[in-house]
Amino acid sequence: SNLLKINNLHVNVDDKEILKGLNLEINKGEIHVLMGPNGAGKSTLSYALMGHPRYKVTDGEMIFEGEVINELRADERAKRGIFLSFQHPEEVQGITVENFLKAAKSSQTGQLVKVIEFKRELLNKMSKLEMSPEYAKRYLNFGFSGGEKKKNEILQMAILNPKLIILDETDSGLDVDAIRIVSKGVNEFKSKDASILIITHHIKILDYLKPDFVHVLVDGRIVTTGDFKLAVEIQEKGYDAVKALAN
Ligand code: ADP
Ligand code: MG
Ligand code: MG
């Protein structure tokens, strides 16, 4: 059944129109890939979905589980199950991984976290991700390698159980082992019927995460949709052929 429906979405960044009538529908349990040349508006779409205040929706609507979310704050969208994984997660001095996740969980559920249960769940999920327990006490992302930051985001997802996961170039700069671990972590959500929107330039991650649809965004609109073969074709031939579709 339908999870997300985006109708005729127009988004401005600093008064410049970036998304120009974007349509996209994602059903539960589907994996969608979004490709497109630099500057097409891919990150703008992920920030607009997450409710970043700088990204102003000027027309159209984003409907999540039947509810128009245009006016909801970022934390309200997170509560409903939308999760955005950034290309460059922030380093936060002074907040440990454990305390950050505890706060995120309690903000999501609106209830205080039961400390002992939470700790057990956390250690259990960390061990599945092959993360040493000492990471729980480290400051969030501080001095973490690229691969460790990504594992940490997968851990965050495992704790929050989102319904829609947006991975914005989350595979950029990762080595093949890190891509495999991230993919393995993300695949577990697919089995829980979560939907995944992957923004990427590289088809390596698609060896592990089999997409149902591949969309190409050019100049603020999705100009073509296909399956895995479309991603392979773009990887081989570049964006020139699809750019022509934008005119
Ligand atoms: P993509 O992720 O597809 O590379 P973006 O969504 O990041 O594209 O950017 C789309 C366009 O919006 C680009 O022309 C970019 O320069 C512009 N843009 C993005 N973010 C901002 C911003 N914060 N301020 C001004 N312009 C921006
Ligand atoms: Mg870019
Ligand atoms: Mg981007």
Q: What percentage of residues in the chain have a pLDDT greater than 90?
A: 57
Q: How far is CA 155 from CA 6, 104, 188, in A?
A: 28, 12, 12
Closest to 32 measured CA to CA, from 189, 188, 226: 226
- pLDDT for residue 109: 85
- pLDDT for residue 245: 80
Residue 50 has φ and ψ, to the nearest 5°, of -80, -15
Q: Provide the domain limits for residue 184.
A: 2-89+161-246
Is the C-alpha dihedral spanning 207, 210, 212, 218 positive or negative? negative
| Residue 28, helix vs strand vs coil | coil
- pLDDT (tens digit per residue) in 163-202: 999 988 877 777 788 788 788 888 887 777 899 999 988 7
State in Å: Cα 149 to ligand 2 middle.
20
What does the pLDDT average to over 54-73? 97
Measured from the Cβ of residue 73, the count of other Cβ atoms closer than 10 Å reads 11
- pLDDT for residue 87: 63
Q: What percentage of residues in the chain have a pLDDT greater than 70?
A: 98
- pLDDT for residue 19: 98
Strand 213-218 and strand 221-226: pairing? Answer: antiparallel
State the DSSP code for 159: H
- Our answer on whether the CB atom of 49 is closer than 6 Å to any ligand 1 atom is no
31-35, 121-125, 181-185 — which is least confidently predicted? 181-185
Nearest-10 crossing angle of helices 176-191, 146-160: 10
With bands split at pLDDT 50, 70 and 90, how would you rate the model's confidence at 33?
A: very high
- Residues counted in the chain: 247
35-39, 147-151, 228-232 — which is least confidently predicted? 147-151
Q: Residue 195 falls within a domain, yes or no? A: yes
- Our answer on whether the CB atom of 38 is closer than 6 Å to any ligand 1 atom is yes
Q: Which residues, at least 6 apart from 194, have a Cβ–Cβ distance to it below 8 Å? A: 28, 29, 161, 162, 163, 164, 165
What does the pLDDT average to over 66-93? 87
Residue 59: is its pLDDT beyond 70? yes
Contact, 161 vs 170, CB < 8 A? no
Q: Residue 49 falls within a domain, yes or no? A: yes
Residue 98 CA to residue 91 CA, distance in Å, equals 14
- pLDDT for residue 88: 66
Closest to 193 measured CA to CA, from 8, 3, 16, 23: 3
| Residue 11, helix vs strand vs coil | strand
Q: Please list all protein residues whose beta carbon sits less than 5 angstroms from ligand 3, which is an ion.
A: 42-43
What does the pLDDT average to over 105-116? 89
- Our answer on whether the CB atom of 19 is closer than 6 Å to any ligand 1 atom is no
4-8, 70-74, 81-85, 217-221 — which is least confidently predicted? 81-85
Q: Residue 152 falls within a domain, yes or no? A: no
Secondary structure of 143-158 as H, E, C letters: CCCHHHHHHHHHHHHH
Q: How many domains, the chain? A: 1
Q: Residue 103 falls within a domain, yes or no? A: no
CATH number at residue 62: 3.40.50.300
Ligand located closest to 239 CA: 1
The token pair at 94 is 């002074």
Ligand located closest to 17 CA: 1
Ligand located closest to 168 CA: 3
State in Å: Cα 117 to ligand 2 middle.
40
Q: Residue 109 falls within a domain, yes or no? A: no
16-20, 56-60, 147-151, 226-230 — which is least confidently predicted? 147-151
What does the pLDDT average to over 219-231? 95
The protein residue whose alpha carbon is closest to atom 13 in ligand 1 is: 39
pTM for the full model? 0.90
Q: Residue 131 falls within a domain, yes or no? A: no
With bands split at pLDDT 50, 70 and 90, how would you rate the model's confidence at 145?
A: confident
Q: Note the ipTM here.
A: 0.89
With bands split at pLDDT 50, 70 and 90, how would you rate the model's confidence at 52?
A: very high
Q: Residue 110 falls within a domain, yes or no? A: no
Q: Which residues, at least 6 apart from 23, have a Cβ–Cβ distance to it below 8 Å? A: 6, 7, 8, 9, 222
Residue 107: is its pLDDT beyond 90? no
Q: Residue 106 falls within a domain, yes or no? A: no
